[in-house]
Amino acid sequence: MISDLVFQPAHQLAQMIRDRQVSAIEVLEAHLAQIAKHNSKLNAICILDEDNARTRAKQADQALENGEIWGALHGVPITIKDIFETAGLRTTAGYIPLKDYIPQQDATAVSRLRSAGAVIIGKTNLAELAGDFQSTNSLFPRVNNPWNLDYTAGGSSGGSAAAVAAGLSALDIGNDIAGSVRQPAHFCGVYGLKPTDRRISTAGMIPEVPGMPYCLRQMITVGCFGRSLTDLKLCFSLIAGADPRRPDVPPIPLDQASGKSLSELKIAWTEEWAEVPVAAEIRVALQTTVQTLAQAGAQVEHWLPQGFDLASAWTLYGRVAAYVNRYAQPVDRYNLRRSLTLLWRTATQGDRQLRAIGNFSRFLPELLNPSLKGYFEALMERDRFTAQLDQALEPWDVWLTPVAATPAFSHRPAWSAVEIDGRAYPHAVANGAYTIPFNLSGHPAVVIPIGQTQNRLPIGLQIIGKRWREMELLAIAETLDRAIGAFRQPTGY
């Protein structure tokens, strides 16, 4: 059966191909059949590279015949978020001026996956220029959630999460500057990793439109999606590390996991920020998870860092984001329209008290009249915030929080308010309140599925670790996952 192959984790597919249990071309054809059957309703894959993928898969099989193994992903079909440049394959970022853009060179992360033997099936759909918590753009149909087509898959990497959840792809990479990996993973019920700031090279990654200066030097990371934590660990280990194209990526070797058992772990948890309560079903799922871990022997304590102030963190994030985005894209009618829509709706929609947190219009001074002094002052404040969180997290192995204030919600116009238990939340607050602080601080975070709502929509858990300790974070996440989580295959796929 097709599902026997397309829902195997990527690392297992790689082993099966190496062991000659199945050929790379058979695995590819199974995925292409799954795409043909389901992608027209999901719109998860926006650019399919069928012919080149078949050629690559056949070459992978021939290489094995010759005793060659290209790498850890030899013959495994994967997809790439359409924000990463792919040599010879259209890269649009969902942005009309780039609709015919064909790069000459792979993004560094793409190149490293190719070098590991991956077969790239195509590109996954996204929010225009990776700039929304839903995956809609002017070039391709919106991405639908495999659990309920009337609901969003999240954004900006909605196509990535939906493709992995529905068995269209074994693995995918995305980017995350406000939750673009973590929120879609939560909405679609898959595993997602946002690494430490600057752990992975962003060379060849839009939203800096080709020809514009390299502006996004803070808070944005390359992450990955999979159906198991082993897959995240494999993908991360392949794409992390120094890159001559990005000298600001430090040559820090991957850490070694400590191997702590569940009973040895000290786990902090926060069920919700006081300023942004989560949906009742998410709160219950997190409380149930914590009870399960405590009963299994973990040391779990309700905790919030002393002096943690969401409003201040959000304001600082907004200032830094305004500066780093200012020159990344040309001022054209598409960007102007998107920006004005965002500013208007975050300033006018949703509960008045919550709007005070999420109103992006107050960052207009930085956008319209940026100053070098203001930028450096914001970076200094960010350094202080990161150092304070480093110190606060020192006694803990990991910190558990919600991923977003709501599970997946029904499709709606960009940046429109989201209803949570009878209260209207501004769009950015509902989706970014639990992810943005860790883009600001640069700490790594992994999302694992922990349950479902009564409407059978996935619920994820965010696990935050220490900076530069991704392998330890992923190892701890695996320990927790064995007790509380598991990937569930969407019905009908």
- The model's pLDDT over 17-26, given as tens digits with 9 standing for 90+, comes to 999 999 999 9
Residue 385 pLDDT exceeds 80? yes
In a 3-state reduction of DSSP, which class is residue 36? helix
Phi, psi of 390 (to 5 degrees): -55, -50
User: Residue 123 and residue 159: Cα distance in Å, rounded?
Assistant: 9
Is the pLDDT reported for residue 1 higher than 60?
no
CATH of domain 2-239: 3.90.1300.10
One DSSP character per residue, 385-415 reads: HHHHHHHHHTT-SEEEE-SSSSS--B--STT
Which band of pLDDT confidence, cut at 50, 70 and 90, is reported for residue 487? very high
Domain range annotation of the chain? 2-239
Q: pLDDT, tens digit, for every residue of 106-121?
A: 999 999 999 999 999 9
**Statement: residue 68 has pLDDT above 60:** yes
Largest CA distance in the chain: 66
On whether the CB atoms of residues 193 and 236 are closer than 8 A, the answer is yes
pLDDT tier at 3, thresholds 50, 70, 90: low
Q: What are phi and psi of 200, to 5 degrees?
A: -120, 135
Lowest mean pLDDT among 138-147, 319-328, 375-384, 467-476: 319-328
Mean pLDDT, rounded, for 136-164:
98
Give me the half-sphere count of Cα atoms (radius 13 Å) on the Cβ side of residue 140.
Answer: 32
For position 361, what pLDDT does the model report? 75
Query: What is the share, in percent, of the chain residues with pLDDT greater than 90?
Result: 87
Distance (Å, rounded) from C-alpha 286 to C-alpha 458?
13
Continuous segment of H or E residues that includes residue 115: helix 108-115
Percent above pLDDT 70 for the chain: 99
Rounded to an integer, the average pLDDT of 166-183 is 98
Q: What is the DSSP code (8-state) at residue 89?
A: B
Higher pLDDT, 345 or 8: 8
Q: DSSP 3-state assignment of 486?
A: coil
203: Cα within 13 Å, side-chain hemisphere: 19
Give pLDDT, residue 353: 86
Instruction: Please report which confidence band the pLDDT of residue 85 belongs to, taking 50, 70 and 90 as the band edges.
Output: very high
Please name the amino acid found at residue 109. A
Instruction: For residue range 229-277, list pLDDT tens digits in order.
Output: 999 999 999 999 999 999 999 999 999 999 999 999 999 999 999 999 9
pLDDT for residue 366: 78
Averaged pLDDT of the chain: 95
Q: Which residue numbers are catalytic?
A: 81, 156, 180
Listing from the earlier edge strand, what are the strands of the sheet with 299-302?
45-48, 119-124, 77-81, 172-176, 221-226, 191-194, 445-452, 458-464, 398-401, 266-269, 299-302
Q: Are 14 and 176 in contact (CB under 8 A)?
A: no
Q: Is the pTM of this model over 0.85?
A: yes
- Tens of pLDDT along 437-476? 999 999 999 999 999 999 999 999 999 999 999 999 999 9
User: Residue 455, exposed/middle/buried by CB under 10 A (0-12, 13-18, 19+)?
Assistant: exposed
